[in-house]
Amino acid sequence: MGMSVRDVATRAGVSVGTVSNVLNRPDKVSPHTVDKVRAAIDELGFVRNDAARQLRAGRSLSIGLIVLDVSNPFFTDVARGAEDRAAEDGLTVLLGNSDENEDREAAYLDLFEKQRVHGVLFSPVGDAQSRLDALHRRGIPTVLVDRPTTDERFSSVAVDDVAGGYLAARHLLDTGRRRLAFVGGPRDLHQVADRLAGATNAVDETADATLEYIATDALTVLQGRQVGEAIRERDAVERPDALFAANDLVAMGLLQALSMVGPLTVPGDVAIVGYDDIDFASAAVVPLTSIRQPSALIGSTAVDLLLREAEAPDEFERQHVVFQPELVVRDSTAPKV
Amino acid sequence: MGMSVRDVATRAGVSVGTVSNVLNRPDKVSPHTVDKVRAAIDELGFVRNDAARQLRAGRSLSIGLIVLDVSNPFFTDVARGAEDRAAEDGLTVLLGNSDENEDREAAYLDLFEKQRVHGVLFSPVGDAQSRLDALHRRGIPTVLVDRPTTDERFSSVAVDDVAGGYLAARHLLDTGRRRLAFVGGPRDLHQVADRLAGATNAVDETADATLEYIATDALTVLQGRQVGEAIRERDAVERPDALFAANDLVAMGLLQALSMVGPLTVPGDVAIVGYDDIDFASAAVVPLTSIRQPSALIGSTAVDLLLREAEAPDEFERQHVVFQPELVVRDSTAPKV
DNA sequence: TGAGCGCATTGAATCATTTCATTTCATGCA
DNA sequence: TGCATGAAATGAAATGATTCAATGCGCTCA
């Protein structure tokens, strides 16, 4: 228990400096000595103490990542991308789940600061201005994730939700639909606003097409089901022939309500497009057409920007990376027959 | 930047020892001095360096937690319970996602050891014998989560899956069903084996009841759908009138296949019980009866045992805590009319 | 007045690692 | 043989918070 470099040094008959060199720059040490030291490490079961390392180094070997919801596959994929990229530089990702709660978010930021992380990646709850100001004031490299910004103090990595909205609506129009409806809310979520804006752009290009906005209180299956039930009751002339849901959960609710009961069919009477391309989307009763985001790439890119900023905080130009989403076509939008 | 207790001490005109006392035992310091020191801390923006604290203390202020799948709501609830309990003792939970991958699991264990965590909570991948042996050899307090064991070297916190299986089957029998089928696999998952065993016990108590085992390769929606489609095609005499799925995802697949197409209804022709009571379960087309596990309680209890062991490693008697699951009745098992 | 008490404060030592200026030593070359 | 060279190894210093034995100080009471 509690073996230190000093114990290893004694055992191997060398100095502590040499043990440290074996650990960090084995090429600077003669092969014979390296062997002796490695043998001593094994015999004693020595495990490096990260705290001492970090104290000496002035900062930790980790990056903090705060997501809005760990159980959302989008964020777990982002985390995976970040971990893999960080591992390339021998760094670890500390994962915090804010659960859209500002107090939890603030608690994680405090923790990360005490831990002297290299920097923080995060998807802020609300506008988080005060917390962002504090991070900037303290000079902690910070990259905003899935949150477009023009703030020049921070880099950001996001996906073009306007383009995603356009893709979805364009696809519906291309497959012959004309009476579109966008389902989602609340409208002050930037994802909702942007996706709707993109859809609007596409509809505006097409003379005889219309787009209705149907608001929900949240992006959940239940909310989608309720909207779906309301739509089911409408007269045929009032009914949209295509629905674009702000995310896959809402889309699944719509699908359930429309296809379960009554005479309507998907995609026969109504086509549905979701957003996020979660696993459930392809496993739905009618496999769901959706918009896929390059989640892992978002994570790795964010780490990349973070490390570059951490290396040269003054010179590094903050960047705003925006990825393009991708349309994944499945049965729920097959053309009308 | 880089303010230390020394800077704070200078600013406040006191010694470093006093600053430390203000931080850790403010009642031992005169109120006037406390104010001076707090003011200096604010003015300088001093943030404690965890690495130095941990170095001195000999161990970190955290507990490691490794789960099989962060996106499974069961595990995020466990994590929440653990975090809350740990916070009571001023500790942090480092969350690692093994994703049922032994290499990732091993990497997290290494990390936690270098960090000198208080101990490790984990839900091992496979039998993990070698990793468990290593933890024991090094004297790292370890609590197994959601993994019943009789191993006297480790405490464990789990849910009685046999009882859960019994509850589910008993409920189906009580509501008048007689031809039961259990759907799930692979059978070497202890959850699958135990839940099936419990269901078998219940069926054995009832003279005219039968239980069929229908295997799946994994516990996913898709696998459930496939089984559901096969059942839909059976002749009425061959068809079960009640299905008990090894988890809610499988149950949802079954529900989709049975209730979407064809003449069968749920619960009219076939009743369905799931397991885990995930959010989706109550939002399904037919709200799903399910077995709920006290997930947060599992997490907090595990931390509890861990801390008691960490305090007195030699005296503390390892414990095997087993919680009882709970039946949550919804529409999918309404009695036959 | 001075001994005795207790609260408040001090600051050197400690934790484990890394770094780097210095030392050691073998080798090659004149 | 004497000297220069450079690779290898050394060990003291530094990182920042905490602890604890020692000290200071104000007060009471004889």
B33 touches chain A (CB under 8 A): no
Q: What are phi and psi of B115, to 5 degrees?
A: -80, -5
What is the token pair recorded at A70? 């760990």
Residue A70's pLDDT band (cuts 50, 70, 90): confident
Nucleotide nearest residue B46, measured CA to C1': D16
pLDDT above 90 covers a percentage of chain A that reads 82
What is the token pair recorded at B20? 């430390």
CA separation for the pair A332, A244 (Å, rounded): 11
What is the token pair recorded at A96? 């915090």
Of the candidates A190, A184, A193, A194, which has an alpha carbon nearest to the alpha carbon of residue A221?
A: A184
Terminal alpha carbon distance of chain A: 73
Q: Is the peptide bond before A267 cis (omega within 30 degrees of 0)?
A: yes
Closest-CA distance, A92 to chain B, in angstroms, reads 9
- The model's pLDDT over B251-262, given as tens digits with 9 standing for 90+, comes to 989 998 898 777
Q: If you average pLDDT over residues A114-141, what whole number do you get?
A: 94
CA separation for the pair A39, A313 (Å, rounded): 41
Q: Residue B22: pLDDT above 90?
A: yes
pLDDT above 70 covers a percentage of chain B that reads 99
Count how many Cα atoms sit within 13 Å of the Cα of residue A116 in the half-sphere of its side chain: 25
User: What are chain B's domains?
Assistant: 5-48 (1.10.260), 59-160+295-323 (3.40.50.2300), 161-293+328-333 (3.40.50.2300)
Q: If you average pLDDT over residues A96-115, what whole number do you get?
A: 94
How many C-beta atoms lie closer than 10 Å to residue B234's C-beta? 10
Residues of B in contact with A97 (CB under 8 A): 76, 79, 95
Which of B1, B138, B280 is the closest to A139 by Cβ? B1
- The model's pLDDT over A286-330, given as tens digits with 9 standing for 90+, comes to 889 999 999 999 999 999 999 999 988 888 999 999 999 999 999
Of the candidates B86, B79, B122, B76, which has an alpha carbon nearest to the alpha carbon of residue B102?
A: B122
Residue A2's pLDDT band (cuts 50, 70, 90): confident
| Beta bridge partner(s), residue B180 | B211, B242
Mutate to test the interface with B, among A44, A55, A67, A276 (most CBs of B within 10 A): A55
Q: If you average pLDDT over residues A92-105, what whole number do you get?
A: 93
Q: If you average pLDDT over residues A90-117, what whole number do you get?
A: 94
Rounded to the nearest integer, the mean pLDDT of chain B is 93
Q: Residue B337: pLDDT above 70?
A: no
Q: If you average pLDDT over residues B134-150, what whole number do you get?
A: 94
Rounded to the nearest integer, the mean pLDDT of chain A is 93
Residues of A in contact with B114 (CB under 8 A): 47-50
Closest-CA distance, B230 to chain A, in angstroms, reads 15
Q: Residue B154: pLDDT above 80?
A: yes
What is the token pair recorded at A335? 């053309």
B239 touches chain A (CB under 8 A): no
Tell if the CB–CB gap between B45 and A137 is shorter than 8 Å.
Answer: yes
Which is more confidently placed, B119 or A259?
B119
Q: What is the pLDDT of residue A262?
A: 74
Output the distance from B57 CA to C5 C1' rounded to whole Å. Answer: 33
- The model's pLDDT over A142-164, given as tens digits with 9 standing for 90+, comes to 999 999 899 999 999 999 999 99
The per-residue DSSP string of A72-110 comes to SHHHHHHHHHHHHHHHHTT-EEEEEE-TT-HHHHHHHHH
Q: Is the CB of B17 under 7 A from strand C?
A: yes
Dihedral in degrees, nearest 10, Cα atoms A93, A99, A104, A107: 10
A48 touches chain B (CB under 8 A): yes
Closest-CA distance, A30 to chain B, in angstroms, reads 26
